[in-house]
Structure 1
Amino acid sequence: MSRYLLILFFFLQAFSSFGQFLIKGKVTDAETGDPIPFAAVLLKGTSTGQNTDFEGFFEIETSVLVDSIQVSYLGYISQSKALSQTNEQVVNFQLRPADLELETFVFEAGENPAFEIIRQVVTRKNDFDKRQLEAYQTSNYTKIEIDIDHLSESFTNRRTVRKVTSVLDSIRQLTNDEGEKILPVFFSETLSKFYYRNNPVLKKEIVEKSKVTGVGITDGSTTSQITGSAFQEYNFYKNWLTIVEKEFISPIADGWKTFYDYDLMDSVLVGNDSCYLLKVIPRREQDLAFEGFIWINKNTYALKQVDLTIPKSANLNFIERIKIQQELVPTSAGPLIPSKTRVQVKIGQVTPKTAGLLAKFYTASDSIILGEPQPTAFFNNAVELKPDFGDASEEFWAANRVDPLSSEELSILQMVDTLKKIPIIRFYSEGLKFFATGFLPVGKIDIGPWTEFGNFNNVEGLRGGLGLRTNYKFSNKWAFQGYLAYGFVDERFKYSVSAKHILDRKRWTTLELKSSREIDQVGLEMESLEGNSIFLAASRFGTLRRPFLSTNQRLTFQREFFKGFLFSAGVNVAQFDPLFDFYYREKDSGDLKSRFETTEVRTGLRYGRDEIIIINDNERASFGPSRWPIFEVNYAKGLQWLGGDLDYHKLNFYLYQKLNMGLFGISRYEVDAGKVFGEVPYPILKNHLGNETLFYTTAAFNTMNFNEFASDQFVSLRYRHFFEGFLLNRIPLIKKLKWRAVANANVLFGSVSDQNIENVPGIDPAGNPIETLGRLDPNKPYVELGYGIENIFKFFRVDFIHRMTYLDVPEANPFVVKVSAQIIL
């Protein structure tokens, strides 16, 4: 009897198992290979199904097996696949993006029911905005991949490209039979700790481990600082999100109704939370706004997850799509922190014969800790690398990744490593770096900048030169740099040599000694342009205006005492040897002199509250401020008792800020003010920079002539506004061109004291007339107003600028047209 019961038991078990079917799989984007979260997976003809998770996986159990399974998601072409009659099977889907625009929904009676949901979300924003937390920290894993896509036939048939693809034929293609070929060029993984504190808002990321591989990447220390989570933050509780240097309006911004329509699609279960599913539709297709889906918790009205896209129709250049997917989790205090974020940026072909670019970012955060804020000094460096950040085995990464690398990602690593070794790739990648940075690395030495290799002007004639500098491989405490140049007409050598000792990298502290002898021009202030080698080279080309030979010996000390607060001090000994007709009247004797020496003691303060700074090898690099202005105050004292010919004081104040004006675009302003105390030759004064060229520049007064005015006390305001399509997007024919209106205003108040006017003689010792000093009326500002169009054919800008005052000055230009070329998104 027991034997029959045993047989019956196994029969019932088999029957039970036979009656349950398991279908699982993954849904990915056919073009990018990335997972598609939140897609609807349904057994065809039934109501049985589920949504994919953030990694694109699904798993359905059913007692009744139908003949096919279907996947659908907005923005993609739906797809069905046949099911086999087996108890367990894996069915993967690769969906192709659909060329569809979201529709605008019209509600004929009553208010759109989605509007009340959005009102509740906006009302409760402060309850869930992570910026309300006093302090928190997270453990983050970040993954970045950059691929070349849009591999057109004309591109792949190029001789240099064929050399690459022939080497890669042995590697499995990174696509499937429904996708497009891609060529990966960069892949990175980063494990880090992220810290945040409020009042004041301070952020810091400590990179614990980082692995970077990419074409042209020779040293991962700099790259590792910008591949962490600090640069991949997207908070939809902010009204505006900054992405690729543009401001995008959040779907739950305070002014949501101006920019968006919504449709209440469904009530769905996400995890254990019942949520409203809302479709987001921009009111105007060219606005910098999102389309897609947001999930709102029914009980709390908090964001649960988002899947939003900036469409190709938005007023952006080259970018075909920006897609952001995000899951949020509540903290114990209430505000939400993103647990997973995935971003795709797809850049189209500049021309039909070139390739496109696809950048993919993934960040996962866990181990969220709320507690007491770290001290302010802790945030001195926005990004910090652990000493052993680059030392980690494959076993370590396998054990510490949030998710294991897919087979596609493993193939990407193999392909990038192969690409790096191909000679033609190395040649082009090093060549591009050489052009962009100006230097060519050769072991522990960099050769350059290339802008010093050759030039031509009316003073030097043909000029040749060569420069060298040490790099991080030579030392992380000492940096040496120098160049030597020779003019074949003036038959003079020019040079610059410097030695810098880095005393403290954490609180950036340096001591630098520099000696130079170079051609300068009155009003250009080349000392402040040392970081821009291309502009310096251009300023030494052609006709030099009021040139002089400048000899300098300088000792400078710098230290960052706390985050954003940089102190500098030093001594500068300089000689001014004019190469044009210049004389000044000596204060004591009244004699006319043409050359002079100065000995200056200098000190300066710079403060950028939220300026992001990284350490690029042995230099500091700024990513600019996010919200708060940057202040600078500099003071110099000219001393006769230390060997100088002049005794004076110079005080200068500078302020810069970028303003997000919301719907109206972005503004930038600069305030520059200064005063010179004492009787000095006019090259010591502020010689306001004019622009007689055809090209527009923000560094000069564009209707002012070279050396037209100088001041010993002044204050100026430069204001630039970028409408970002606000005006022209509303004109039916113009908006298709994606032109953008710009405006600018420059205002200058200045004056020169009588003693400095008398210092400038009108004739030389032989009685010949010489150039004199142009002065401004202290009660009458110099004003120029401009307007223009940028983004013409995606590259060009035209400005129309009116000179509003000082029109009676000889050779004044009341109206000028300036052009410029730029690469903007």
Structure 2
Amino acid sequence: MIRKYFFLFFFLVSSQTFAQFVVKGKVTDSATGDPIPFASVLLKGTTLGISTDFEGNYTIDVRSLTDSITVSYLGYISAAKSLEQVPEQTVNFQLKPSDFEMEAFVFEAGENPAFEVIRKAVDRKKDFDKRELSAYQTKNYTKIEIDIDHVSEEFTQRKTVQKVTAILDSIKQLTNDEGEKILPVFFSETISKFYFRSNPELRKEVVEKSKVTGVGITDGSTTSQITGSAFQEYNFYKNWLSIVGKEFVSPIADGWKQFYDYDLIDSVLVGTDSCYLLKVYPLREQDLAFSGTIWINKETYALKQVDLTIPKEANLNFIERIKIQQELQPTSAGPLIPAKTRVQIKIGQITPKTAGLLAKFYTSADSVKVGEPQPTSFFNQSVTLLPGYDEASEEFWKENRQDILSQEEIAVLQMVDTLKRIPIVRFYSEGLKFFGTGYLPFKKVDIGPWPGFFNYNDIEGIRLGMGFRTNLKFSDKWVLYGYGAYGFKDAELKYSAKVTRILDRMHWTSVSLSTQKEIDQVGLEISSLQGNSIFLAASRFGTLRRPYFTNKHQVNFQREFFKGFLMYSDLSFMEFEPLYDFYYLEKGTGEYKSNFQTTEAKIGLRYGRDETILINDNERTSLGPLRWPIFELSYAKGMNWLGGDITYSKINFYVYQRLNMGMFGVSRYEFDAAKVFGEVPYPILKNHLGNETLFYTSAAFNTMNFNEFASDQYASLRYRHYFEGFLLNKVPLLKKLKWRAVGNANILYGSVSNKNIANAPTVDPDGNTIETFGRLDPTKPYIELGYGIENIFKFFRIDFFHRMTYLDNPGAKPFAVKISGQIIL
């Protein structure tokens, strides 16, 4: 009996002694509602605790509890909450962001111990950089959310806004921890497969399923191409990361010591890996560099995870903060693949009477396969949408999401779906699209472009026009385009029409027929401005310089044989009818001629090794090259056939490249060279584009007068450099203004053969003097140098140009000031 009670007593005591207490919860950002991974959660007064996982969750199992629990993390105000003495409880935290300030660290002797850790991590970059893999593929899940936040009182008092909020009050309101409302306007989910191969370096994303809902989103095909993981890739093993069009230096870049300071905080256990915990600080607060925390494996010196922020002090416009959190996992071959990545971009109010934006991106990757590279032809398109990509039930998404949606995200979906159906919202969203694209969608056609609706110039007087193009709802194989305009002064109808048949969307192949009657200007080449409707419309205002009527008919064919390699050809018939005093001497007879006709056949090749191409509706859209140049070579033959009066040949070579110069900024250059063989009227020559306006344009020589020079053989180099704050960030009184220095150098060599000089008479048949064209000395280049400041009041740019040569030409101006406006980050 005594023995029985003894064991009962022992059991009761033991059960109390070894009782388990479980505290769990989630740590989120109070301003955004997003989880905070890697935060330190401790029982107050002890060393017992854990770090939150990538979703901000934590679970602590202990034998005894203290009276409270604390949470701390770099960049946030620490918080504490009381605990109850119960077996299991949930304690959630919403941390408020704090202003990050670099602390002063004093080392009494020797080197900063963090430097040795970074040095070894940099030395072993090639062991863990995923670009060292011959090939890999992953299955990715990506979600994007865009919210309106920082809604000012003035903004909410607007009548249009009140109409919206009155409707939204009927559903759940989303707020941050401070009670401020946020207004979701976009949400997307994408399931895709991502492919990479290293030799040559190619990438491709195959979108299997995509769900897009957002204000102003009428067709998800284009949007679905850019909401996948291909455009949310952040590799910290690169020296420079491209984010929002800017180049940011990695904390483990080869030149890390020029940009960063570090503090070795602790050794911590992350999963089963023992890691160094380091704080990262930019040496100069306005540099495009990160601050935050990185974890480096103590054994391998591989990155384990990062939590980095680009603060508002960096030289960026409108952006208050960019935050990147990433968790990496090793592949079977060794290099690391980001398992989960979360990015937040917070855009502040442009003016006190507007609202801000918060963009949130999340990508997770699994099913990693290493090796087995796909053939080069597989990468012809950067992004491919599988048939039925936008057809999936909610059950499918529940089963295939790598991460379930939170209650807040479900509420976001409901709100966006309601918001986009509100008439006033649809009116303004469609209006913004109309202004930006130039076209207004109306069922199966788009009406526009609006810059061509009204123009005024000295030849046509008031010009009214209207046009249309078919869209994807009409067909994905046929594209129709039409435009008509009437000038009330010249009483002439102008028109253009085009029909295109898309034969293959994978290896982009199309054939088109077009006809046009229009007013053009010598040297302006209206055909090269078709993609820029605003600049094209501006060229039709005011005084037209050397205008002429052109009647042109053309057949065109193009095909992309493999990624980046495009072949195009066309046959065109053009009639030139001058509207100014123009004559040329006919070859052989020496007779004065004013009008002429050409029959021209052209073939061209274009190659951009790493150029990113999207299929925008029924058009190809280039996002530009990443690293390699774009080459283009073309040959044209003018023939005395089918009405053509002139025989000639043209060959043209063009190169464009964007160069990342690291801490010195970004450069862009364009090299253009051509030669015309044969005796031709000077409108067929290259009439170099000058700029006598007050406004800067990169397409022209900004100190050259209109029609000042023409060439039948030439080579030009345009070089533009953007210092991105490199120089002015170091000037104490200027760095707060966030001005950025820019530089320009334009060089042109050219000449005209004697036979082409001779066939351009300087007097008309009646003996009156007429203008022809200016010529360059083959031994003397045209040079202009420029420098300037951009980002003045965040919008304006001013350039100063010095003309270095041909200063004795009539009307030459040795110095010019040009202004322009731009919205840049």
TM-score in same-fold range (> 0.5):
yes
Counterpart code for 1:744: N
Q: Once the two structures are superposed, what CA deviation does each residue of 1:541-568 show, in whole Å capped at 9, x if it has no partner?
A: 1110000011110000000000000000
Matched position secondary structure for 2:222: helix
Aligned to 2:237: 237
Quick check: 1:687 aligned with 2:683? Answer: no
Aligned to 2:218: 218
Counterpart code for 1:448: G
Worse-superposed segment, 167-176 or 49-58: 167-176
Contact 2:133 2:371 in 1 (8 A): no
Contact 2:751 2:778 in 1 (8 A): yes
Q: Once the two structures are superposed, what CA deviation does each residue of 1:266-289 show, in whole Å capped at 9, x if it has no partner?
A: 000000000000000111111110
Shift in Å, 1:99: 1.7
Taking the TM superposition and a 5 Å limit, the aligned residue runs for 1:27-426 are 27-426=27-426
Question: How many Å separate the matches in 2 of 1:737 and 1:723?
Answer: 15
Question: How many Å separate the matches in 2 of 1:285 and 1:372?
Answer: 44
Aligned to 1:616: 616
Counterpart code for 1:585: L
Question: How many Å separate the matches in 1 of 2:176 and 2:149?
Answer: 14
Counterpart code for 2:651: L
Shift in Å, 1:344: 0.5
| Residues 574 and 25 of structure 1: CA distance in aligned 2, closer, same or farther (over 3 Å) | same
Question: How many Å separate the matches in 2 of 1:393 and 1:2?
Answer: 67
Aligned to 1:706: 706
Counterpart code for 1:393: S
Contact 2:309 2:321 in 1 (8 A): yes
Question: How many Å separate the matches in 2 of 1:552 and 1:18?
Answer: 91
Contact 1:740 1:789 in 2 (8 A): yes
Quick check: 1:490 aligned with 2:467? Answer: no
Question: How many Å separate the matches in 2 of 1:433 and 1:6?
Answer: 82
Contact 1:103 1:281 in 2 (8 A): no
Contact 1:18 1:87 in 2 (8 A): no
Shift in Å, 1:3: 14
Counterpart code for 2:385: L
Contact 2:750 2:777 in 1 (8 A): yes
Contact 2:137 2:196 in 1 (8 A): yes
Question: How many Å separate the matches in 2 of 1:15 and 1:686?
Answer: 93
Between Structure 1 and Structure 2, how many residues are aligned? 825
Contact 2:509 2:559 in 1 (8 A): yes
Matched position secondary structure for 1:210: strand
Question: How many Å separate the matches in 2 of 1:531 and 1:15?
Answer: 78
Taking the TM superposition and a 5 Å limit, the aligned residue runs for 1:770-809 are 770-809=770-809
Aligned to 1:469: 469
Shift in Å, 1:179: 4.9
Matched position secondary structure for 1:413: helix
Matched position secondary structure for 1:421: coil
Question: How many Å separate the matches in 2 of 1:147 and 1:6?
Answer: 65
Aligned to 2:719: 719
| Residues 653 and 52 of structure 1: CA distance in aligned 2, closer, same or farther (over 3 Å) | same
Structure 2 gaps, min length 5: none
Contact 1:30 1:179 in 2 (8 A): no
Taking the TM superposition and a 5 Å limit, the aligned residue runs for 1:595-606 are 595-606=595-606
| Residues 9 and 650 of structure 1: CA distance in aligned 2, closer, same or farther (over 3 Å) | farther
Contact 2:31 2:177 in 1 (8 A): no
Contact 1:30 1:180 in 2 (8 A): no
Shift in Å, 1:104: 3.9
Aligned to 1:696: 696
| Residues 10 and 664 of structure 1: CA distance in aligned 2, closer, same or farther (over 3 Å) | same
Aligned to 2:769: 769
Contact 2:458 2:542 in 1 (8 A): yes
Counterpart code for 2:148: I
Matched position secondary structure for 1:432: helix
Shift in Å, 1:768: 1.1
| Residues 261 and 159 of structure 1: CA distance in aligned 2, closer, same or farther (over 3 Å) | same
| Residues 518 and 104 of structure 1: CA distance in aligned 2, closer, same or farther (over 3 Å) | farther
Matched position secondary structure for 2:296: strand
Shift in Å, 1:445: 1.2
Question: How many Å separate the matches in 1 of 2:5 and 2:567?
Answer: 89
Aligned to 2:646: 646
Shift in Å, 1:684: 0.1
Counterpart code for 1:119: R
Matched position secondary structure for 2:693: coil
Question: How many Å separate the matches in 2 of 1:448 and 1:207?
Answer: 31
Shift in Å, 1:747: 0.1
Q: Once the two structures are superposed, what CA deviation does each residue of 1:346-378 show, in whole Å capped at 9, x if it has no partner?
A: 111111111111101000001100122110000
Question: How many Å separate the matches in 1 of 2:425 and 2:636?
Answer: 49
Contact 1:460 1:489 in 2 (8 A): yes
Quick check: 1:660 aligned with 2:634? Answer: no
Matched position secondary structure for 2:420: helix
Quick check: 1:480 aligned with 2:480? Answer: yes
Counterpart code for 2:411: S
Shift in Å, 1:152: 1.1
Contact 1:584 1:759 in 2 (8 A): yes
Identical pairs, percent: 73
Q: Once the two structures are superposed, what CA deviation does each residue of 1:749-771 show, in whole Å capped at 9, x if it has no partner?
A: 00000000011111111211111
Shift in Å, 1:642: 2.9
Aligned to 2:23: 23
Matched position secondary structure for 1:741: strand
Quick check: 1:428 aligned with 2:421? Answer: no
Shift in Å, 1:108: 2.6
Contact 2:31 2:176 in 1 (8 A): no
Counterpart code for 2:569: A
Matched position secondary structure for 1:714: strand
| Residues 127 and 541 of structure 1: CA distance in aligned 2, closer, same or farther (over 3 Å) | same
Counterpart code for 2:287: D
Aligned to 1:518: 518
Q: TM-score, normalised by structure 2?
A: 0.98
Question: How many Å separate the matches in 1 of 2:122 and 2:79?
Answer: 36
Matched position secondary structure for 1:683: helix
Question: How many Å separate the matches in 2 of 1:711 and 1:596?
Answer: 19
Shift in Å, 1:100: 2.9
Question: How many Å separate the matches in 1 of 2:434 and 2:797?
Answer: 27
Structure 1 gaps, min length 5: none
Taking the TM superposition and a 5 Å limit, the aligned residue runs for 1:743-754 are 743-754=743-754
Question: How many Å separate the matches in 2 of 1:713 and 1:789?
Answer: 34
| Residues 429 and 802 of structure 1: CA distance in aligned 2, closer, same or farther (over 3 Å) | same
Worse-superposed segment, 11-20 or 509-518: 11-20
Question: How many Å separate the matches in 1 of 2:455 and 2:17?
Answer: 83
| Residues 428 and 5 of structure 1: CA distance in aligned 2, closer, same or farther (over 3 Å) | farther
Question: How many Å separate the matches in 1 of 2:648 and 2:629?
Answer: 30
Aligned to 1:676: 676
| Residues 368 and 757 of structure 1: CA distance in aligned 2, closer, same or farther (over 3 Å) | same
Shift in Å, 1:19: 2.3
Contact 1:70 1:78 in 2 (8 A): yes
Question: How many Å separate the matches in 1 of 2:175 and 2:48?
Answer: 31
| Residues 492 and 13 of structure 1: CA distance in aligned 2, closer, same or farther (over 3 Å) | farther
Shift in Å, 1:15: 3.5
| Residues 594 and 10 of structure 1: CA distance in aligned 2, closer, same or farther (over 3 Å) | farther
Give the CA RMSD over aligned residues.
1.5
Shift in Å, 1:773: 1.5
Contact 2:478 2:500 in 1 (8 A): yes
Question: How many Å separate the matches in 2 of 1:370 and 1:776?
Answer: 58
Counterpart code for 2:228: G
Contact 1:688 1:708 in 2 (8 A): yes
Counterpart code for 1:442: F
